[in-house]
Copies of this chain bind each other. A is one copy, B any other.
């Protein structure tokens, strides 16, 4: 929690030669140069530089840094990148760097490694710290226990303000790394019984017992509290952190706002990628081609099958299509437009679910809202595209077929798009992952069917 001593200028500076600089430093093997380089790098720039270094270069650069700076660098990189970097180090090197990190960061980084790798590092670490990390990694990343840090200040309720202040003085060194915001008061059974703000200590008479001045029965999270609830809570309360207790009400850690928000941002990033059909974890281009290709193909291959299923509808109407070839021009348009309308509805539902504005049980409310919008947009788009078809071939019936099909299909697409995420969420599935493909398959099939069956019905007037 020391104030950084970097230059005040924050606007990130384009520095084309930063990379070359770094390579020279690595080549020269000059630790001081490496530290100055890191210090003078504009914020966020480090991630970009490292992304462009080869594994060997990354390895050589890290080797130049002292453990403290290596730890800070790894913390500032996206976890995926930090994990790659870590895996290039020996277990011993890694362990030393780990000793400079907070417990939660240690756990997050080990998550990025294979069990064998992380086990090797834990072996090398200070036994007590390793013990602690093993304890924390039992928790899922997405609950209070998985997000909390165990570096906290707790005192017995029987102690006095003086006891605390003198302890703070004595351990100022050690506590410097802690985010000391609150002092937690525990009873003989290590259960949380109260909390104090540093401010309260400043303003209280030295001799007073903590039990006499603490905020009793403070708010705390059970260690299994899910991320969403933590996020909602911190949104609603301007607190920096809250104590976490186990099922016996024993104080086990502190979950900090910053970690909760970082976790939810990370989640949002993953959701964003999954929404675009990238599975099995985040993709950064520094990952090996094999992994990247696999993660993208894993759903492209599903998607192509769904596409074939949808297109099979067209195959069933080959004769109709043959006699009114113009329809072939509009099939992709109807399918694409309906897909877009549906995806908008999916996005809004996904967003409203995240904001907690709707729940799966609100499907009727959502359906009503979306049905109205579907009629308006359906008519607008149908008239537009139908008009184009009419003018192009000078045949009003063609316009009727195309416009009518698009209008109906849009209505269906927005209703489906709005409800699918609720349905998936209701079944505890990930809306971002499955909504898109399911929707487009359905809208494609339905769109092709509507266009071609309308056409068949009006065939005499179309040819």
In the bound complex, do residue A356 and residue B45 qualify as a contact, i.e. CB atoms below 8 Å apart? yes
- B-contacting 9-mer, from A92-100, A107-115, A229-237: A229-237
Going nearest first, the 5 A-B pairs with the smallest beta carbon separation are A44-B232, A276-B347, A43-B232, A44-B356, A328-B328
* A256-300 interface code vs B (CB 8 A; 1 in, 0 out): 011001101100110111011110001111100100110011001
The segment out of A56-64, A119-127, A332-340 that lies at the interface is A332-340
Interface pair A348/B257, CB less than 8 Å apart: no
Of the listed stretches A22-30, A376-384, A455-463, name the one at the interface; the rest are far from the partner chain: A376-384
In the assembled complex, the CB of A259 is this many whole angstroms from the nearest CB of chain B, namely 10
Within 8 A of B (CB), among A369-420: 369-370, 372-373, 376-377, 380-381, 384-385, 388, 392
In the bound complex, how far is the Cα of B362 from the Cα of A264, in angstroms?
28
Q: A8-B221, A261-B261 are in contact. List 6 more A-B contacts (CB 8 A).
A: A44-B356, A48-B357, A172-B199, A278-B348, A296-B341, A304-B337
Decide if B300 touches A172 in the complex (CB within 8 Å): no
Q: Are A277 and B47 touching (Cβ within 8 A)?
A: no
Cβ of A163 to closest chain B Cβ, rounded Å: 13
Q: How many copies of this chain are found per oligomer?
A: 2
* Known contacts A229-B11, A307-B332, A311-B329; A47 and B355 CB within 8 A of each other: yes
Is A179 part of the contact surface with B, judged by Cβ < 8 Å? yes
Q: A273-B351, A346-B276 in contact; A308/B3 too (CB < 8 A)?
A: no
The complex places the Cα of A72 from the Cα of B236 at a distance, in Å, of 7
Tell me whether A212 is interfacial, beta carbon within 8 Å.
no
Find the B residue at minimum CB distance from A203: B169
Are B195 and A3 in touch, CB under 8 angstroms?
yes
Is the pair B257, A303 in contact by a Cβ cutoff of 8 Å? no
A226 part of interface (Cβ distance < 8 Å): yes
- Option from B230, B276, B332 in Cβ contact (under 8 Å) with A335: B332
Residues of B within 8 A of A373 (CB): 289, 292-293, 296
A347 to chain B, nearest CB (A): 3
Whether A43 and B229, one on each chain, are in contact in the complex, defined by CB atoms closer than 8 angstroms, is yes
List 15 contacting pairs A-B, 8 Å CB cutoff, sorted by A.
A3-B215, A10-B233, A14-B359, A42-B229, A43-B236, A44-B229, A48-B356, A268-B272, A269-B355, A276-B346, A285-B366, A289-B376, A293-B376, A293-B377, A331-B332
Is A213 interfacial (CB 8 A cutoff)?
Answer: no
Is A219's beta carbon under 8 Å from chain B? yes
Option from B257, B278, B297, B348 in Cβ contact (under 8 Å) with A380: B297
On whether the beta carbons of A315 and B333 are closer than 8 Å, the reply is: no
Bound complex: CA A3 to CA B181 (Å):
12
A330 to B358, CA, bound (A): 39
Instruction: Collect the chain B residues with CB atoms within 8 Å of residue A381's CB.
Output: 297, 300-301, 304
Which residue of chain B lies nearest to A226 when distances are taken between CB atoms in the complex?
B11
| Residues of B contacting A231 in the complex (Cβ-Cβ under 8 angstroms) | 44
Instruction: State how many angstroms separate the Cβ of A294 from the closest Cβ of chain B.
Output: 10
Q: A308 and B377: CB pair below 8 A?
A: no
**Smallest CB-CB separation from A245: which chain B residue?**
B8
Query: What is the CB-to-nearest-CB distance from A53 to chain B, in angstroms, rounded to a whole number?
Result: 12
A220 at the interface (CB under 8 A from B): yes
Q: Is the CB of A232 within 8 A of B332?
A: no
Q: Which of B1, B222, B358, B444 contacts A8 (CB 8 A)?
A: B222
Say yes or no: A356-B258 contact (C-beta < 8 A), given A168-B203, A346-B276.
Answer: no
Given the complex, which residues of B lie within 8 Å of A444, measured CB to CB? 332, 336
User: With A and B bound together, what is the CA distance between A271 and B359 in angstroms?
Assistant: 22
Verify if A438 is at the interface (C-beta below 8 Å from B).
no
The reply to whether the CB of A20 lies closer than 8 angstroms to some CB of chain B is no
A333: which B residues are within 8 A, CB to CB?
304, 307-308, 311
Chain B residue contacts of A203, Cβ below 8 A:
165, 168-169, 172
Q: A255: shortest Cβ distance to chain B, in Å? A: 11
Alpha-carbon distance A303/B343, docked complex (angstroms): 13
Residues in B with CB closer than 8 Å to A340 are: 277, 300, 303
Provide the residues of chain B in CB contact with A76, threshold 8 Å. 235-236
A324 CA / B391 CA spacing, docked (Å): 26
Per-residue CB contact flags for chain A residues 188-207 toward chain B (1 = under 8 Å, else 0) read 00000001011101110000
A269 B354 Cβ-Cβ under 8 A? yes
A461-B335 Cα distance, complex, nearest whole Å: 30
